[in-house]
Amino acid sequence: MQVDRDHATTVAAEAFEAHGISAADAAQTATVLVSADARGKHSHGLLRLPRFVRGIEHGNVDPDGEIAVVSERGGAATVSGGARLGPVVASEAAIEAMDRADSHGVGAVGVHDTNHLGMLGYYTDQLRKEGYVGLAVTNTEPAMPPYGGAEPVLGTNPIAIGFPTDPPFNLDMSTSAIARGDVLHRRENDRELPEGVALDADGAPTTDPQAALDGTIRPFGGPKGSGLAIAVEVLAGGLVGAAMGDDVTGTYHTEDPCTKGDLFLAIDPAAMGVPEFAERASAFLTELTAGETDADHEEIRLPGQRSVARDREREEISVEADLWAEVRELADRE
C-alpha cells in the first residue's frame, strides 16, 4: 500500500514517543527510517521500527542517555552514544565529523555505546550534501564466516561513501552477498533468496530466508568481501572501543545490549588543495555515465544515484499493509 510520506513520518515518530522517546529523537529516527523506504531500501525502513521498539522495551535504549565526546585529539574523536537510538547518535557523530573537518580538514569520529543506526548511506548523503567527502562504516552481529571458514563470526558490516557531486555518488553496500536486513524483509514478505548467497545451519546452500537467518550469509566476492568485512570489524569495532566478532550483540537480537560501533569520516576537499574537486569529479562522473552500455543495460548509473533521486522526489512510500497496521498500533492509533 502507498502512504503519504509526511504522514508515515508523523505516525512513526508517535510510535517512538509512545515508548518513552523524546519528540526530537523520535522525529529524527522516523525521518531516517522513512527516507530508507522512499529510496526503496525497505530492509532498513519502517520494517525496523518494531525491532527498535523491542530494544526500548528490553531496556537497551536509554531515552535520556548522554551523547558525549570521551576522547579527542585534533580532527579525531570518539563519542559515547549513551545508548540513545542509533540514528540520533549517528547524526550527532556526523555533525561532529563535519565540525572537525572545518577546523582540521578531516574529521574522524568513532562511536560506541549506541544502537542500530538504520541505513548507513543516509549519513554519507548528509555529509556529501554539505560539501564533504563522507565515509562511514559500522559492524553488526555475526552473520557470516570469513572466507574459508564455517562459523559466522563477522557481521554483514556495511560501507558507505558519498561525494559532493552532481550527479550524486552515494555508495551504500554491505560486505555480504545480501544484506541481513534484506533477508529479514524477504522473510516478512514470503520471498525466497537468490541462489548462492546463504547457508543453512548445517552449512548447506539455502534460498529460505529463515534458514539463512538461522545459518550464515556468505561474503560477496569470496575473499574480497571477507577482507573488507574484517577491515570494517576492526575499524568500526576495535578502533572506536566497541566490540568485534562474537562479542557484537544487539543489532539484530534486540533483547541483548548493543555493543557494535561506528566510524564516520568527513573530508573537506579544499583541505586537500583541490577547491575545484566537486566540479572535476562531477565532470568525470557525467562522462562515465554517458559511456556506451553493454547488451544487458540501457543506462549506466552511479551508486546511490537512483535512490537519492527517489528520496528527493517521492511524496509517498510503499509499506506492507500488515507492517503499517503494526506501526499504527505501536503509535496507539486505531
The angle that helices 121-129 and 23-38 make with each other, rounded to 10 degrees, is: 100
Average pLDDT over residues 105-117: 98
Which pLDDT value is given to residue 190?
86
Residue 86 has pLDDT above 80, yes or no: yes
Determine the average pLDDT of the residues in 48-62.
96
pLDDT in tens, 231-261: 999 999 999 999 999 999 999 899 999 999 9
DSSP assignment letter at 219: B
Between 23 and 143, where is the model more confident? Answer: 23
Q: Which of 226, 59, 239 is nearest to 152 (CA)?
A: 226
- Maximum distance among all Cα pairs of the chain, rounded to whole angstroms: 57
Peptide bond into 158 cis (omega under 30): no
Active site (annotated) includes residue 176: no
Angstrom distance (rounded) from CA 134 to CA 94: 9
Lookup result for grid cell 510520506 = 5
Those residues whose C-beta lies under 8 Å from the C-beta of residue 261, and which sit 6 or more positions away, are 110, 111, 112, 114, 138, 139, 236, 237, 239, 240, 241, 242, 243
Q: Report the pLDDT value the prediction gives residue 185, as an integer from 0 to 100.
A: 82
Half-sphere exposure of 4 (CA within 13 A, CB side): 4
- Which has the closest alpha carbon to 83: 260, 239, 238? 260
Q: State how far the Cα of 232 lies from the Cα of 137, in Å rounded to an integer.
A: 6
Residue 334 — pLDDT band, cuts 50, 70, 90?
low
Residue bearing the bigger pLDDT, 316 or 188: 316
184 within 8 A of 43, measured Cβ to Cβ: yes
C-alpha cell at position 324: 503499517
Residue 16 is predicted with a pLDDT of: 98
Distance of CA 158 to the CA centre of its chain: 7
Known catalytic membership, residue 172: no
Name the pLDDT band for 191 (thresholds 50, 70, 90). very high
- Gap between the Cα atoms of 186 and 193, Å rounded: 7
**Per-residue pLDDT band at 149 (split at 50, 70, 90):** confident
Place of cell 521498539: 53
pLDDT surpasses 90 at 180: no
Nearest of 178, 214, 185 to residue 322 by alpha carbon: 185
User: What average pLDDT score do residues 254-283 get?
Assistant: 96
Q: Which of 25, 125, 182, 262 is catalytic?
A: 182
Cβ contact 17:25 at 8 Å? no
Which residue among the candidates 19, 37, 42, 44 is catalytic per the annotation? 44
Q: What 3-state DSSP class applies to 205?
A: strand
Task: State the catalytic residue, choosing from 25, 37, 43, 174.
Answer: 43
Q: DSSP string covering 78-138, please?
A: EEE-TT--HHHHHHHHHHHHHHHHHHHSEEEEEEES----S-THHHHHHHHHTT-EEEEEE
Q: Which domains are delineated in the chain?
A: 2-61+308-330 (1.10.1530.10), 68-272 (3.30.1370.60)
Q: Is 182 a catalytic residue?
A: yes
| Helix or strand (DSSP H, E) at 77 | strand 76-80
Burial class (CB in 10 A: 0-12, 13-18, 19+), 125: buried
203 band by pLDDT with thresholds 50, 70 and 90: confident
Claim: this prediction has a pTM higher than 0.75:
yes
**In terms of residues, how long is the chain?**
334
- Mean pLDDT of the region 281-302: 95
DSSP, residue by residue, 133-193? EEEEEE--S--BPPTT--S--B----EEEEES-SS-EEEEE-SBSS-HHHHHHHHHTT-PP
